Homo-oligomer: A and B are copies of this chain.
């Protein structure tokens, strides 16, 4: 098993802030789009053990990095909001 710790970290961030990102649509398709777009702009941090994800979150993702992740997330949210591929809007 390999997992990109950033997938979990950015997904948690999106869940936490999705109601403050001025999204036109919060359907699963749009949220997945935002997540994929953000992850494609973020250096991966793959781990081979589940417990290492918490370790990565606690040690490698400091306040400043979380803030820059949030900025990146907001930018990607805007891109997807302006050109949603879902059919809800």
In contact, B48 and A44 (Cβ under 8 angstroms): no
Residues of B within 8 Å of A40, CB to CB, are: 43-46
What is the oligomeric copy number? Answer: 2
With contacts A2-B7, A2-B32, A42-B44 known, what are 17 further pairs, Cβ within 8 A? A1-B32, A2-B35, A2-B36, A2-B39, A4-B4, A4-B39, A4-B44, A29-B48, A32-B48, A35-B46, A36-B46, A36-B47, A37-B46, A39-B44, A40-B43, A40-B46, A44-B44
25 contacts between A and B (CB under 8 A): A1-B32, A2-B7, A2-B32, A2-B35, A2-B36, A2-B39, A4-B4, A4-B39, A4-B44, A29-B48, A32-B48, A33-B48, A35-B46, A36-B46, A36-B47, A36-B48, A37-B46, A39-B44, A39-B46, A40-B43, A40-B44, A40-B45, A40-B46, A42-B44, A44-B44
